[in-house]
Every structure is written in structure tokens, then in C-alpha cells.
């Protein structure tokens, strides 16, 4: 009986294990983590934007000089401005009063109507009111304009410069040096009061050097000479010229008058890029600037 009992006990144990359904768990192998490759994007270098060129509209223009016959700079202690709003109105200060006027223009053409002003009287500095009246008259003669290097030049119907403005007030302009600059004639008045303008196709120039020599072109011929400067006084003499003959008689006549007037000069004044030569008596006035 004992072997039978042992067999039955072993069978019971087998049945017990099978009924449990227990199995040995399989080891779990961890899934490796996938590492994504990252790409470093280069930092964009900002493009340098060149400063915008000045336009007629939306900025304040400060008058440097005006011309009606002889040229004149703005009186010290006064300020004349023009602001074109882009919608057909120009306004600003005419030295004493505020003014406004209508304007129209296409491309580089420009026409300005009769200004209306406030009604103040300014006694100081002397000449303010006459300067204002002259400016408002000249303004209506506008026919064309150009802008170069932040300088606004307004011309009349004959192409003569009548108003010159800058984006900087005249007191802030760095004067062009007398010596070393090439000066181009705009206009001059001789001792008899005759008014001359530059030749359109034959610019007249003047260049002064450090060794007290001068040279230039008088419209047809080249010329040279000497000069002396002391303070605001200047003397010009000892001319020599080439001997060309240009076909246009008016060019030769202008050249002859120009070379005759130049030795009579006694004073000079520079305002920004404009050079004024005069005889000291108010009769002779020669206006140059640094743009042909």
C-alpha cells in the first residue's frame, strides 16, 4: 500500500501545479530610446539697409539762399522753411510769419500758388520783412526742382536756380572749404547792375590751391592766376588764359565779362556749399556753389 500512496501523492502535486497555470515570466528586454539628430540652423545676418534718399515730401527744408537778380543768404537770426505735405499743400516759416500755399508737380516739375500768411511784424533783425516779401515772391516762380545730397534746388522756367534748401538748418551746415573746393558759378552782377547767369553747356569754375594759385574755366578758355586771403578779404590778380575761340558768341561775351569782374573782388563769404564773392560796395556779387 505504501508505494501506491506515494504514487497518488505525486500525481496530486502534478495536478495542483497544472491547475495554477503558473509559468516562469520571460525577461523583458527594454526597447532602446531613439535619439533624434538635431541640426543647428545658422543665424541669419540682417541685411544692412542703406539710408533712404531725401524726397520732396514729408520733411522740413531749410532755406540756405535765394536769388532774384543778385543772390542772398538767409539773414542771421531768421529761419525760412518749407514743408511739402504730399497732398498739394506747402507751408512753413517765411522768416517772420507762417505761410501756406498750394502746389502741384509731376516728376521734377513744380508749380506753387500765391501764399497766404499770418500778419505779424518783425523789426529784428533788420531786413526780416523785406526778406520775407522777397521769398514769397520768388517762391511763386518755381518751375522745376532737383534733390542731390540732401540739397533741394528749385529752378525757374529758364532753369535758373532761385531757391536752395537743405535738410539741415544753415547754422548746422559744415561750410565747404574755400581752398581745395571746386566752385561753380551760378550767377553774378557786374558794377553796372547787369545780371548774368551760368552757361548751361559751358560751366564756369574756380579752384583755389594752398600755394595761393587759382585756376578754372571761364566758359570757353581755361584761366589761372594768384590770390591772397586775409580774414574775409580776398584779392585776385595776375590772370593768364588759353586762346581758344568758341563758336557761341554769348559764351565768349560771358567769359570776357567774368574775367573782367573777377579782379574787382574784395570780400568772400561761405554759407554751407555756397561761396559769395563781392567788391565790398554792394555793386558786384558773384555766387558759386560746389555743384556744377
Which DSSP string corresponds to 120-141? ----SSTTHHHHHHHHHHHHTT
Which of the two residues, 73 and 136, has the higher pLDDT score? 136
State pLDDT tens for residues 23-65.
Answer: 444 444 554 444 444 444 444 444 444 445 568 888 999 998 8
CA distance 220 to 208: 19
CA distance 181 to 74: 22
Q: How many CA atoms lie within 13 A of 131 on its CB side?
A: 27
State pLDDT tens for residues 98-109.
Answer: 999 999 987 899
Total-model pTM: 0.50
Q: In the CATH hierarchy, which fold is given to the domain comprising 174-292?
A: Lipocalin (2.40.128)
Nearest to 204 by CA among 222, 226, 224: 222
Q: 3-class SS at 52?
A: coil
Q: Assess whether pLDDT exceeds 70 at residue 115.
A: yes
Q: In the CATH hierarchy, which fold is given to the domain comprising 54-169?
A: Lipocalin (2.40.128)
Domain definitions of the chain by residue range: 54-169, 174-292
Q: How many CA atoms lie within 13 A of 281 on its CB side?
A: 10
Residue pair 196/184 in contact (Cβ under 8 Å)? The answer is: no
CA distance 105 to 110: 4
State pLDDT tens for residues 184-238.
Answer: 987 788 888 777 776 656 889 999 999 999 999 999 999 999 999 999 999 998 7
Residues 6+ away with beta carbon under 8 Å from 150: 54, 166, 167, 168
Query: Same CATH fold, 174-292 and 54-169?
Result: yes
Amino acid at each position: 500500500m505504501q508505494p501506491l500512496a506515494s504514487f497518488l501523492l505525486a500525481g496530486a502535486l502534478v495536478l495542483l501545479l497544472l491547475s495554477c497555470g503558473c509559468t516562469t515570466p520571460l525577461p523583458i528586454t527594454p526597447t532602446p530610446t531613439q535619439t533624434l539628430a538635431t541640426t543647428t540652423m545658422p543665424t541669419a545676418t540682417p541685411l544692412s539697409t542703406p539710408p533712404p534718399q531725401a524726397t520732396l515730401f514729408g520733411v522740413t527744408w531749410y532755406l540756405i539762399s535765394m536769388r532774384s537778380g543778385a543772390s542772398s543768404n538767409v539773414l542771421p537770426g531768421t529761419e525760412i522753411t518749407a514743408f511739402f505735405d504730399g497732398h498739394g499743400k506747402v507751408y512753413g516759416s517765411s522768416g517772420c510769419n507762417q505761410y501756406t500755399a498750394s502746389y502741384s508737380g509731376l516728376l521734377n516739375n513744380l508749380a506753387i500758388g500765391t501764399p497766404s500768411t499770418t500778419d505779424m511784424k518783425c523789426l529784428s533783425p533788420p531786413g526780416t520783412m523785406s526778406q520775407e516779401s522777397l521769398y514769397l515772391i520768388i517762391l511763386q516762380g518755381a518751375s522745376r526742382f532737383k534733390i542731390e545730397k540732401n540739397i533741394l534746388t528749385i529752378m525757374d522756367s529758364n532753369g535758373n536756380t532761385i531757391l536752395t534748401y537743405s535738410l539741415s538748418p544753415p547754422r548746422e551746415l559744415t561750410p565747404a572749404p574755400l581752398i581745395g573746393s571746386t566752385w561753380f558759378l551760378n550767377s553774378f552782377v557786374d558794377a553796372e547792375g547787369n545780371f548774368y547767369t551760368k552757361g548751361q553747356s559751358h560751366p564756369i569754375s574756380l579752384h583755389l590751391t594752398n600755394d595761393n594759385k587759382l585756376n578754372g574755366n571761364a566758359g570757353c578758355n581755361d584761366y589761372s592766376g594768384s590770390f591772397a586771403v586775409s580774414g574775409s578779404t580776398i584779392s585776385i590778380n595776375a590772370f593768364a588764359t588759353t586762346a581758344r575761340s568758341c563758336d557761341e558768341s554769348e559764351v565768349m561775351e560771358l567769359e570776357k565779362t567774368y574775367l573782367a569782374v573777377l579782379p574787382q573782388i574784395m570780400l568772400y563769404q561761405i554759407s554751407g556749399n555756397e561761396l559769395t564773392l563781392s567788391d565790398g560796395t554792394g555793386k558786384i556779387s558773384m555766387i558759386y556753389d560746389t555743384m556744377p
